[in-house]
Amino acid sequence: MKTPNRAEPRVRPVASPSAPEPKHLMDYVRVVYKRRWIAFPVFLIFLVVGAVNALRQVPVYQGRAQVLIESDSPKVARLDQVFQSNSG
């Protein structure tokens, strides 16, 4: 029989001493989706500021190139030219 004056002790669940559960990607996606009306404008502001700063930068390097085009004809002396140069 229970007595009404006596309080029953409450039992609390004991937290395990092991490491907490790892966070999954969907946890982060869920948070971003929940705060999408804040996250989207902040992302756009950072994107625009970064693009403007990148376009305003002074170029540090400027490359130049010059192309020399030569014909593919071989520059080998023919046999008759060799004999003419020896006889002359």
**Contacts of 32 by beta carbon, 8 Å cutoff, 6+ apart:** 39
Return the biggest CA–CA distance within the chain: 140
The two tokens of residue 48 are 């625009």
Residue 4's alpha-carbon distances to 8, 13, 27, in angstroms, are 10, 25, 46
Write the DSSP symbol of residue 77.
-
Q: What is the pTM of this model?
A: 0.42
The two tokens of residue 33 are 């989706």
Which band of pLDDT confidence, cut at 50, 70 and 90, is reported for residue 13?
low
CB 39 within 8 A of CB 32: yes
pLDDT digits (tens, 9 = 90+) for 15-70: 666 777 888 889 999 998 999 999 999 999 999 999 999 999 998 888 899 999 88
